Structure 1
Amino acid sequence: MDYEKLRESTTDAWANTVLPSLSGLIEIPAVSPAYDAAWEEHGHLRAAVEHVRAWVATRALPGARVDVVQLDGRAPLLFMDVPATPGAAASGTVLLYGHLDKQPPLGGWSEGLGPWQAVIREGRLYGRGSADDGYSGYAATTALEAVRAAGGEHSRAVVLLETGEESGSPDLPAYLEHLADRLGDVSLVICLDGGGGDYERLWLTSSLRGALQATVTVRVLETGVHSGLASGVVPSSFRVMRQLLDRIEDAQTGEVKIPEMLAPIPQERRAEAAEFVALHPEVAVPRLPLVRGMRRASDDDVELVLNNTWRPTLSVTGAAGLPEPAVAGAVLRPWTSFRLSFRLPPSVDAEAARTALEKILTTDTPYGAQVEVGDFMTLNGWHAPTPAPWLASALEQVGDRVFGKPCRNMGIGGGIPFMEMLGRRYPHAQFVVTGALGADSNAHVPDEWLNIPFATQVTEAVAHLLDAHARSAG
């Protein structure tokens, strides 16, 4: 493959074709279904998919088929099938993933900027969905084009762009079943919904945490009672809730006590965390808006990274049954509800954790209080498999030829549902989870922006991996 031609083709495409169309995509308020109950009526998700489909249809990819797929009642999906270059069919299928739905716009954007307004300033493309991750379909398509233009090879490639990722990808399992025959034998997955600690190298996501959410309700009375009559006679629902929380979390250390939520931390991930802290301490443990005098959970930055990427944590994210302080009367309340949100280690079975949580909270309840646990949400985490020799070599080449610095791994405290789903469906596939997001890209908040030169390099890196994968079967 002609690497100079590859870079030239990638750079030219971003400047002349990608940016104009990506700017148009930013202008479509394609808010994810969880944040827009009338998403189907509004039609913005469909408009975003059609916008990218129209652009892809103009690209130089012989034999490519581009379809908009929409199951009844589910958010639409863009599915592109690109045949292999001659002689590269034996290496299986590459699945390139991204999403087109966006977080809500939010207020507070800087002067001259806005969520649905594409603005280019000093190498940055501002607008909601620019970095997270409207660019992904453009990068995947451009990489395939660039490989061909440079005389390289790529196996059969499928580009899948969903519109529900920001809502937790609730429709994706149904689409994976629906498209199973069309996906074929996937041997490499490239997810472009990631990012890293800087814009100087390719960052690879090595792990993603899972999640478990549940609503716990404690009932002690049929109706509220004057506290002067009932206090000291009936234990408050809040005190019972405190006792239940003590069953699942150490209030002094924050350590989760449920065995089914615990997992050993691999030694390579400990070393990875230490390397990340040494390289970018301010990114590994970002500065958060702590109130005056507040301390972090530990003074050891490496331990904080491991807390955020591998250890289970509990947050109480909502409550009900408690009136506002200004109107709280002298009443012993009949019930209290908490919304519990656990982040789980990458290797923990979220369903097993759910079963254990429910049993612990509802067995032998304090004072015989009625305890209900429901409204569950479960998400398994993901731990990247060890790269095959061909992939390890290709990543080394990407570091040398594209960035001039070696690739780095890092764990992520959040989750990408698609990765765990694909990991189960294709247990022998290789995975590359990367992307153009940086620590300061402002995803989900005002002034979201995409680093254009870095996104161009990420695209070039993907092209290298596509060529290496095609040749790996030789």
Structure 2
Amino acid sequence: MNARDPLPPLSDDAAQALAAYSRQRWDEAIVPALTDYIAIPAKSPLFDADWQAHGLLDRVVTDAAAWIEARRVPGLRLEVIRQPGRTPLLCFEIDATRAGSTQTVLMYGHLDKQPEFSGWRADLGPWTPKIDGGLLYGRGGADDGYAAYAAITAVEALKAQGLPHPRIVGLIETGEESGSGDLPVHLDALRARLGDVGLVVCLDSGAGNYDQLWLTTSLRGMVSGQLKVEILSEGVHSGDASGVVPSSFRILRQVLDRLEDSATGELLPRGFHVEIPVERVEQARQAAAILGEAAWRNFPWACGADGTPTLPTTTDPTEALLRRTWRPTLSVTGVDGLPPLGSAGNVLRPHTAFKLSLRLPPTADAHLASQQLKTLLEDNAPYNACVTFAPDGRAGALGADGWNAPTLAPWLERALEDASQAQYGAPLAYIGQGGTIPLMGLLQRGFPQAQMMVCGVLGPKSNAHGPNEFLHIDYARRLTAAVAQVIAACP
């Protein structure tokens, strides 16, 4: 924030009052609201081309807006912003109650969801919310439907204790899982209303464990898209054509060999790599000392042929953290052109297509990487096959940039440590995240002097985007109180 003298820390009684308020509101109001929210399959536009006709994104925004308005927070103004062809955005403003405060705290979250995916437990489902052992299961609760409700509750907690706060603006979008392509348009329209942003609170990230407050230090960028290899205009008898007509799958493998060493998973073009900052390497070592083998053991490993668990690419905790946060990696997340096993006849298929997800280091240029990837995959195709790579992206956003956090101001570092100790009874910890939040790069460029509190509830086994996604309710309660405590400390 500004250069004024830092505020004195909250008393223990005040911090515990914030915790008590958060617990009560989560149990009475937020959990019921999230239960209703999870039941709505409000998939992001990338996964629902008819999202406007279906109206589900508009429904979850309307529901969240109604919940917020019902709270009757003093000094709050709320608007659902709709622009033609754009995903809706929920924006709320709350007047400052601290005398002399001139800067804005910007709070961010999103309400759009990833698709269903398979493999859910028999008693669970993506759109069937269930509480089991303090965990709220279902798609989107933790990523990131809780954010709007937690943000308002943090402000309510401050007001309930009579604690002054700066001006607060909330932006809750509905296109994050599609790369936030509409967000720059909304931000341009809202720039005058945002004011001088001094602190960004982003609630769309994760945690290394459920024992302390984790501050996200970096986010990876991403390029995703469809790689397609076409060799025939229609399928033909494999006995008749194989040996003469090359397999589209084999050609696709050759093309991917230009990008990735299949033996190690290392990406071969050096242009996709960056030098990892010394500070981030040291923070990875510190996080590894806290997490130990949990840095890689927490994933749901299958069993190998001999019954022993499958193994990670590394068992070194520090290297595991760096590989999932700063080193580029390739995943194949979907496939087309392959019939189900039960319908697979002896036919040489005309094409094979893969959905590629290329995670980039936080400081890499995602748009440039998208262009380089397209050239790498398409040029000089084997057998002169038709090889195309079509990057994902709405509104011309080809690739999503990552983000590397600015240096913490002393007041914020102290406030985060105090909040972690008060709300979790453990010190603040730092961790990079492998996911992508396009907004952070946008805000960093738009407000280069702003401080960033990026955190979230996606801890071990919470499995965002996959089966059995859950929100750890007690961790979310504590995080809400911690956010309130940090806002109370803003100078």
Instruction: State the TM-score bracket (shorter-chain normalisation).
Output: 0.7 to 0.9
Cα distance change on mapping 1:354 and 1:154 into 2, 3 Å: same
Matched, 1:32 2:6: no
Matched, 1:327 2:339: no
* Structure-2 separation of matches of 1:217 and 1:120: 41
Displacement of 1:334 after TM fit? Answer: 6.8
- The residue type equivalent to 2:313 in the other structure is A
342-351 or 449-458: bigger deviation: 449-458
- The residue type equivalent to 1:36 in the other structure is D
How many aligned residue pairs are there?
A: 467
Matched, 1:78 2:90: yes
- The residue type equivalent to 1:327 in the other structure is G
Matched, 1:179 2:190: yes
Q: Report if the CA contact (8 A) 2:300-2:461 is conserved.
A: no
Cα distance change on mapping 1:360 and 1:116 into 2, 3 Å: closer
Q: Which of 450, 453, 459 is the equivalent residue of 2:474? A: 453
Q: Report if the CA contact (8 A) 2:299-2:461 is conserved.
A: no
* Structure-2 separation of matches of 1:113 and 1:217: 34
Alignment-derived partner of residue 173 in structure 2:
162
Q: Which of 350, 362, 382 is the equivalent residue of 1:346? A: 362
Secondary structure class of the residue paired with 1:390? helix
Give CA-to-partner distance per residue, 1:412-450, whole Å, 9 cap, x none. 222122222222222221111112232133433454433
* Structure-2 separation of matches of 1:316 and 1:73: 30
Q: Report if the CA contact (8 A) 2:239-2:346 is conserved.
A: no
Cα distance change on mapping 1:427 and 1:328 into 2, 3 Å: farther
* Structure-2 separation of matches of 1:387 and 1:261: 27
Q: Which of 126, 147, 159 is the equivalent residue of 1:148? A: 159
Cα distance change on mapping 1:223 and 1:47 into 2, 3 Å: closer
* Structure-2 separation of matches of 1:343 and 1:96: 25
- The residue type equivalent to 1:296 in the other structure is P
Secondary structure class of the residue paired with 2:71? coil
Q: Report if the CA contact (8 A) 1:29-1:44 is conserved.
A: yes
Cα distance change on mapping 1:307 and 1:367 into 2, 3 Å: same
Give CA-to-partner distance per residue, 1:188-216, whole Å, 9 cap, x none. 11111122122211111111111123444
Q: Which of 306, 312, 328 is the equivalent residue of 1:296? A: 312
Displacement of 1:462 after TM fit? Answer: 0.6
Displacement of 1:313 after TM fit? Answer: 1.5
Displacement of 1:103 after TM fit? Answer: 3.4
* Structure-1 separation of matches of 2:24 and 2:247: 67
Q: Which of 203, 211, 219 is the equivalent residue of 1:192? A: 203
Cα distance change on mapping 1:308 and 1:141 into 2, 3 Å: same
Alignment-derived partner of residue 427 in structure 2:
406
Matched, 1:7 2:19: yes
In the TM superposition, 1:67-466 aligns within 5 A as 67-90=79-102, 92-105=103-116, 115-218=126-229, 240-285=251-296, 286-293=298-305, 294-318=310-334, 326-329=344-347, 337-365=353-381, 371-376=387-392, 377-466=398-487
Give CA-to-partner distance per residue, 1:136-178, whole Å, 9 cap, x none. 1121111112222323221110111112223333322222222
214-223 or 370-379: bigger deviation: 214-223
Alignment-derived partner of residue 19 in structure 1:
31
Cα distance change on mapping 1:304 and 1:54 into 2, 3 Å: same
Give CA-to-partner distance per residue, 1:82-125, whole Å, 9 cap, x none. 111141432x1111111222334567665765544554455444
Cα distance change on mapping 1:249 and 1:466 into 2, 3 Å: same
Cα distance change on mapping 1:269 and 1:373 into 2, 3 Å: same
Secondary structure class of the residue paired with 1:343? strand
Cα distance change on mapping 1:7 and 1:253 into 2, 3 Å: closer
TM-score (norm 1): 0.86
* Structure-2 separation of matches of 1:35 and 1:365: 30
Cα distance change on mapping 1:185 and 1:250 into 2, 3 Å: same
* Structure-2 separation of matches of 1:236 and 1:125: 46
Cα distance change on mapping 1:44 and 1:224 into 2, 3 Å: closer
Displacement of 1:370 after TM fit? Answer: 5.3
Cα distance change on mapping 1:241 and 1:101 into 2, 3 Å: closer
Cα distance change on mapping 1:309 and 1:62 into 2, 3 Å: same
* Structure-2 separation of matches of 1:233 and 1:61: 72
Matched, 1:63 2:81: no
Q: Report if the CA contact (8 A) 2:330-2:358 is conserved.
A: yes
- The residue type equivalent to 1:187 in the other structure is G
Q: Which runs of 5+ in 2 are unaligned?
A: 1-9, 393-397
Q: Report if the CA contact (8 A) 2:237-2:346 is conserved.
A: no
Displacement of 1:272 after TM fit? Answer: 2.6
Cα distance change on mapping 1:373 and 1:452 into 2, 3 Å: closer
RMSD: 3.2
Displacement of 1:404 after TM fit? Answer: 1.6
Alignment-derived partner of residue 4 in structure 2:
none
Secondary structure class of the residue paired with 2:201? strand
* Structure-2 separation of matches of 1:76 and 1:263: 36
Matched, 1:41 2:53: yes
TM-score (norm 2): 0.84
- The residue type equivalent to 2:80 in the other structure is V
Give CA-to-partner distance per residue, 1:220-247, whole Å, 9 cap, x none. 6778888899877787665554443333
- The residue type equivalent to 1:64 in the other structure is L
* Structure-2 separation of matches of 1:14 and 1:147: 15
Secondary structure class of the residue paired with 2:301? coil
Secondary structure class of the residue paired with 1:205? strand
Displacement of 1:347 after TM fit? Answer: 0.8
400-409 or 38-47: bigger deviation: 38-47
* Structure-2 separation of matches of 1:8 and 1:225: 68
- The residue type equivalent to 2:421 in the other structure is D
* Structure-2 separation of matches of 1:284 and 1:273: 10
Give CA-to-partner distance per residue, 1:319-369, whole Å, 9 cap, x none. 55667784234x6x7765544331111111012212222333444555665
* Structure-2 separation of matches of 1:115 and 1:191: 24
Percent identity of paired positions between Structure 1 and Structure 2: 47
Displacement of 1:283 after TM fit? Answer: 3.5
* Structure-1 separation of matches of 2:487 and 2:334: 45
